[in-house]
Structure formats: structure tokens, C-alpha cells
């Protein structure tokens, strides 16, 4: 399928792309899930029935619908079905619970939630905190309305058991497709409103850099509630005519078996995945695999070269954010270990110092970005106009990340100017970790910081000032965290301190805590369990 087939504003939408595939190659297998194949026509029909069913609930163009599911075909059907109505998908991380789950449902004004039955107990916990939620569509059956009074429950199978006829909406490339929450640093998580063309544009970039074609097969094992799996795997496969394998989750023990079984030629990784795969005992047939390219971010020098040599596959790195897409990319045939590549022609980039002055080569500075292609970056932060303006100072999007550029024009990530934590493929808000920790009555103050992991990325450390009148141990606090936040957010390291270092204006000087790092009096939850994971 050529890009020229999707030139008009109404054509550059994800559901139009699926419809084109269904019209032209309907019977061809598009993806596999649990050994069952789904054709383009299958997925398009499923999406039509989702559109008809959700429309019967009163959902129309511009309405937000939350989706809380693990990787499964129904997730894809909902994504494309909502797009057909011009409704806005709000993917929810399945690990979220309590405050953060309720916050995201409320912040995005979600009146409808499509949820896998396994995650219903998490909704029950916050039932009284989400007054806007009126309809709950349950995948895998069951209609336990007694635990959530005042909500209308619908079985997904019954709601989508229709003829697939719906009233189409006038959806254009500039219309919102999704609200994807990014990690907050000095405040709550922000919902980035992404237009339809953002998704098409990312698919085009991915197809170009990895040279995808009908002979390729993309292995999609990252969670669909993240943009990577939706926008950098599913849509590029759809655009290029490649096949796709939708795995339930990434499994180091299952990875190579799946790659060989389905003849997968590409996989999108996050930094720690390469280190995990390298830890496996070497085998004589490590290089005997069909992978030709792996695209991702966070591969550390040393791991990068070792992986390419052992498995004979080309790695390509990139730099991106939900808000901006992929402004920096590596060419698989001209990549440098440790570099996230060079600027893509559709973006302008600039490195600046703290005063906003442009920097030359080899000087670390904050990366600023702006688009050359229309509707290729976020529209705004949903219901946060002040944060949108703050991010776009001087008509440049401020990433909050420090990078440097070498003499040959390659960019290298250095550190985060903003106070976010990246752990196991998840962006974690230090603000939200602190907020949840400080809900414990024995905690007076808390500061969450990143600690470099032995597998790349970060581990979460929290420095705690205990309440003088109450006692608490590190294991007790860790157990409390495990019951009130997503597993990936739970601090590995806990350190009790008499006070936090602060500026005269009482802002916590986290750089001091980061410099001190893991001290001799720091509790390490992983060490106690006898592992590093």
C-alpha cells in the first residue's frame, strides 16, 4: 500500500487504513494470537461490531472511552472501532490501581470503560471515586453489577453481537485519536492528546527506517496499552502489509521459540530486554534465527555490540516521547552503539543550555523539538492548558531531556532534566510515588529518585522522613506500597533520613540524594529476595 493512497485528511486515519486493507486483501492473515490467525477482514469486522455496540451506548465523536485489557484481539478491535466513531481511546496501564487509576479515568472524562474481567476488582476498589463512569463493558463475560451500583454493565460478547452497522463519523487527520498518559514529574500525570495523523506518520517513519514489506513479520510482545505496541508495531505492520504476531506478554523463555516458529523478522525492544536475553545461556544455534532488525531504545554500549554479534541481527535505536513521536532515529545500516541516531527530516531539533541558547557539537543540552509535518505531534495536554503552554515555550517543545551531538551529527541521550524514572519499560512519576508513599500515616516526607539498574534503565528509590511519633520499618513500607501502587512503581530501595535537603524556598534538592545514591543504611528489597529482578 502506497502512502499516496492516503493523501486526504479523511484518509489519514487508522480505521481508513484498516478498511483499505480489508477491501484489497481481506482474506490475508494479518496477525496471530495464541496460534489463531486473524485476517484483515476479520479485524475490520470485529471493529465494525465494536463501533456499532459502543455507539448504542451513546458514544460519539470526541467522547473518551477507557480501555483496560491485556494483549488480546479484542483490544485491537476496540482501538479501530472507536476510531471509526471518532471516539477517543484512553488506554489504561493494567498495573494501575487506587488513586492513579481513578485519577486517569476522571482526568480523561471517561464515561465508558472496556475492561477485562480480571481487572474488575481494581475498579471495585475505586467505585466511589469515579462518578463520571456510567457504562462498563466487560470482556470475558460476567455482569456483577452489585459491586458497582449505579453503573450499567454490558458483556462485550453481547454488545458486539450485532451486524456491524453503525453511523460513520466525519473523522479527519487532525481529530483526536487517543489520550495517552505520560509520567508527571512535578505534578500529576498528563494526558497527551494525539491526533489521527500522528499514528499514520509514526507508522510511515517506522516502515521507512526498518524497510518493512509484505515479507516481514513483526513480533509484538510489548503491552498494547502503551504507544509502542499500537503505533510502532501494529500500525507499521498494517501499513506495510507485513504479518504480525501478538504475544500476550514478553517472555524471555518463550521469545526465541516464537521468533523461529512464526518466522519473525522484527521486534521492538526496550533497553532491559536485550540485557535479559543476553543473560540466557549461549546456544550453538543463537545466530540461527529469522530476525533481521530490532528497533528500540536504551541499549547500552557493550550490550548493543554483544547482542548484534551473538544473534546476528541489526539494532536500530531511536529517541521519542508520546508527545512528539520519533524525532531521532538510527539507520540500521549506519548505527552507532549508544546513539539514538540523527534527526528525521520531518522534525527540527535543537540543543540549548539552561538559558535557551543554542549549543554546538559535544556540548550537553536540553533537546527541543518542533514538527515540519502537519498533525505529527500531540495536540495538547488534555485539560491542562498551562502545562501545554509550558511545554511549548518559544514555539519549541521542551523535552526535559539532556542530550549531546557529536561531530558527525549523531545524538546521544545523557540524562533526564525532568524528574521522571524509567523502570522496566515504564515511565514512572516520582511525584505520584511520593504522593502514595506519603499517604502512610508514619511518613512525614518522601522523595523518589532513580537509581541506575544493572540491566539498564532505573530502579526506584525513595528517601523517607518518618513521622517522629510513629514507627515504621522498610519492609512494612514496601508492603504498603505493594498494596497501593502498580508493581513496577514499588520502590526497590528505601532509605530513612532525618530530613531532606532543600533550597531556601523549600524545594527538595534531589540531585544531592541522587549523588549519595544507595548508601550503607539503604534497604534493598531485591537483595533480600536473593535476586536482581
Task: Give backbone dihedrals phi and psi of 515, rounded to 5 degrees, phi first.
Answer: -65, -40
The confidence score (pLDDT) of residue 67 equals: 98
Give residue-wise pLDDT tens across range 312-333.
Answer: 999 999 999 999 999 999 999 8
Q: Average pLDDT of the chain?
A: 91
Give residue-wise pLDDT tens across range 346-384.
Answer: 999 999 998 899 999 999 899 999 999 999 999 999 999
Give residue-wise pLDDT tens across range 152-175.
Answer: 999 999 999 999 999 999 999 999
The confidence score (pLDDT) of residue 298 equals: 77
The band of 182, judged by pLDDT with boundaries at 50, 70 and 90, is confident
123 vs 120: CA distance, rounded Å: 5
Scan for cell 535543537, then name that residue: 350
259 vs 216: CA distance, rounded Å: 12
Given a cut of 80, whether residue 271 has pLDDT beyond it is no
The band of 531, judged by pLDDT with boundaries at 50, 70 and 90, is very low
Q: How far is CA 44 from the centre of its chain?
A: 24
- From the number of C-beta atoms within 10 Å of its C-beta (0-12, 13-18, 19+), residue 109 rates as middle
Torsion, Cα of 293, 297, 302, 306 (10° steps): -20
- Residue pair 203/238 in contact (Cβ under 8 Å)? The answer is yes
The confidence score (pLDDT) of residue 338 equals: 86
DSSP per-residue codes, 141-170? S---GGGSTT-EEEEHHHHT-S--------
The confidence score (pLDDT) of residue 273 equals: 87
The band of 4, judged by pLDDT with boundaries at 50, 70 and 90, is very low
Domain 250-416 has CATH 3.40.50.12780: yes
The band of 187, judged by pLDDT with boundaries at 50, 70 and 90, is low
Q: Pick the range with the lowest mean pLDDT from 340-344, 419-423, 523-527.
A: 419-423
Domain locations in the chain as residue ranges: 3-195, 250-416, 425-529
Highest mean pLDDT among 113-117, 351-355, 522-526: 113-117
CATH topology assigned to domain 425-529? GMP Synthetase; Chain A, domain 3 (3.30.300)
Same fold, 250-416 and 425-529: no
Domain 3-195 has CATH 3.40.50.300: no
Give residue-wise pLDDT tens across range 41-97.
Answer: 999 999 999 999 999 999 999 999 999 999 999 999 999 999 999 999 999 999 899
Given a cut of 60, whether residue 1 has pLDDT beyond it is no
Q: Pick the range with the lowest mean pLDDT from 278-292, 458-472, 500-514.
A: 500-514
Task: Give backbone dihedrals phi and psi of 54, rounded to 5 degrees, phi first.
Answer: -70, -35
For residue 424, what are the CA distances in angstroms to 39, 93, 193?
32, 14, 24
Query: Half-sphere exposure (CA, 13 Å, Cβ side) for 501?
Result: 8
What cell does 527 get?
537483595
The confidence score (pLDDT) of residue 144 equals: 55
Given a cut of 90, whether residue 526 has pLDDT beyond it is no
Highest mean pLDDT among 180-194, 371-385, 418-432, 495-509: 371-385
The confidence score (pLDDT) of residue 431 equals: 76
In the chain, the percentage of residues whose pLDDT exceeds 90 is: 74
Average pLDDT for 4-32: 90
Given a cut of 70, whether residue 387 has pLDDT beyond it is yes
Amino acid at each position: 500500500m502506497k502512502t499516496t493512497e492516503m493523501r486526504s485528511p479523511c484518509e489519514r486515519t487508522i480505521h481508513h487504513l484498516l478498511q483499505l486493507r480489508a477491501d484489497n486483501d481481506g482474506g490475508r492473515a494479518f496477525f496471530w494470537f495464541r496460534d489463531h490467525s486473524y485476517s484483515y477482514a476479520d479485524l475490520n469486522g470485529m471493529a465494525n461490531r465494536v463501533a456499532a455496540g459502543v455507539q448504542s451506548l451513546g458514544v460519539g465523536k470526541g467522547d473518551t472511552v477507557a480501555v483496560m485489557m491485556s494483549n488480546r484481539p479484542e483490544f485491537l478491535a476496540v482501538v479501530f472501532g472507536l476510531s471509526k466513531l471518532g471516539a477517543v481511546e484512553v488506554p489504561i496501564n493494567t498495573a494501575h490501581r487506587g488513586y492513579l487509576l481513578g485519577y486517569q479515568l476522571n482526568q480523561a472524562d471517561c464515561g465508558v470503560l472496556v475492561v477485562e474481567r480480571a481487572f474488575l476488582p481494581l475498579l471495585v476498589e475505586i467505585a466511589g471515586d469515579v462518578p463520571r463512569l456510567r457504562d462498563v463493558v466487560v470482556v470475558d463475560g460476567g455482569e456483577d453489577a452489585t459491586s458497582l451500583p449505579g453503573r450499567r454493565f454490558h458483556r462485550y460478547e453481547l454488545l458486539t453481537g450485532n451486524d456491524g452497522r453503525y453511523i460513520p463519523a466525519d473523522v479527519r487527520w487532525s481529530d483526536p485519536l487517543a489520550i495517552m498518559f505520560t509520567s508527571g514529574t512535578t505534578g500529576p500525570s498528563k494526558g497527551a492528546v494525539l491526533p489521527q495523523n500522528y499514528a499514520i506518520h509514526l507508522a510511515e517513519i517506522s516502515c521507512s527506517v526498518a524497510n518493512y514489506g509484505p515479507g516481514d513479520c513483526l513480533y509484538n510482545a510489548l503491552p498494547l496499552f502503551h504507544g509502542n505496541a499500537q503505533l510502532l508495531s501494529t500500525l507499521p505492520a498494517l501499513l506495510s502489509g507485513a504479518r504480525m504476531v501478538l504475544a500476550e506478554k514478553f517472555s524471555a523463555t518463550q521469545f526465541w521459540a516464537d521468533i523461529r516458529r512464526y518466522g519473525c523478522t522484527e521486534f521492538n525492544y526496550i533497553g532491559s530486554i536485550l540485557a535479559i536475553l543476553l543473560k540466557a545461556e549461549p546456544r550453538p544455534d543463537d545466530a540461527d534465527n529469522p530476525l533481521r532488525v530490532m528497533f528500540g531504545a536504551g541499549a547500552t554500549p557493550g550490550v548493543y555490540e554483544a547482542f548484534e554479534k551473538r544473534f546476528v541481527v541489526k539494532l536500530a535505536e531511536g529517541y521519542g516521547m508520546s508527545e512528539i513521536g520519533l524525532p531521532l532515529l538510527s539507520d540500521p545500516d549506519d548505527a552507532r552503539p549508544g546513539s539514538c541516531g540523527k534527526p528525521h527530516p520531518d522534525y527540527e531539533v535543537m540543543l540549548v543550555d539552561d538559558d535557551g541558547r543554542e549549543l554546538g557539537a559535544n556540548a550537553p543540552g536540553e533537546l527541543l523539538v518542533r514538527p515540519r509535518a502537519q498533525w505529527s505531534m500531540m495536540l495538547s495536554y488534555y485539560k491542562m492548558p498551562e502545562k501545554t503552554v509550558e511545554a511549548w515555550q518559544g514555539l519549541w517543545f521542551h523535552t526535559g531531556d539532556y542530550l549531546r551531538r557529536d561531530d558527525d551529527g549523531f545524538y546521544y541521550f545523557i540524562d533526564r532534566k525532568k524528574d521522571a524514572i524509567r523502570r522496566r519499560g515504564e515511565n514512572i512519576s516520582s511525584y505520584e510515588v511520593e504522593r502514595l508513599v506519603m499517604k502512610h500515616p508514619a511518613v512525614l516526607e518522601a522523595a523518589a529518585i532513580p537509581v541506575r539498574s544493572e540491566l539498564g534503565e532505573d530502579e526506584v528509590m525513595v528517601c523517607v522522613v518518618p513521622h517522629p511519633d510513629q514507627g515504621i520499618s522498610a519492609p512494612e513500607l514496601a508492603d504498603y506500597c505493594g498494596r497501593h501502587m502498580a508493581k513496577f512503581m514499588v520502590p526497590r530501595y528505601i532509605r530513612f533520613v532525618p530530613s531532606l535537603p532543600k533550597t531556601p524556598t523549600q524545594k527538595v534538592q534531589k540531585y544531592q540524594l541522587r549523588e549519595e545514591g544507595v548508601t550503607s543504611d539503604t534497604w534493598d528489597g531485591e537483595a533480600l529476595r536473593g535476586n536482581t529482578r
